């Protein structure tokens, strides 16, 4: 059984609304339009509708 894990390319903080996208060139998360709260711990919705596993 081969399983492929696909990482997310965008994420939103559930606490402050900060939105980030994955930048392939920098290999790092980059802030989109809204930085959100600078002091927020950032709770990312990692188990929402995104499905990282493909069979």
pLDDT of the chain, 55 residues: tens digit per residue: 677 777 888 888 999 999 999 999 999 999 988 788 989 998 887 666 666 566 5
Residue whose entry in the numeric block shows the structure tokens 């980030």: 20
Q: What predicted TM-score, i.e. pTM, was given to this entire model?
A: 0.69
- Token code pair at residue 4: 């492929």
Closest CA to 10 of 22, 1, 2: 22
User: What is the residue extent of each domain of the chain?
Assistant: 1-36
Return contacts of 7-12, CB within 8 angstroms, 24+ apart. 7/52, 8/46, 8/50, 8/52, 11/44, 11/45, 11/46, 12/44, 12/45
Residue 39 CA to residue 24 CA, distance in Å, equals: 26
């Amino acid at each position: 059984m081969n399983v492929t894990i696909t990482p997310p390319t965008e994420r939103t903080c559930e606490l402050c609304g900060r939105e980030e996208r994955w930048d392939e060139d920098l290999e790092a998360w980059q802030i989109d339009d809204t930085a959100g709260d600078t002091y927020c711990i950032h709770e990312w919705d990692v188990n929402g509708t995104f499905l990282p596993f493909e069979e």
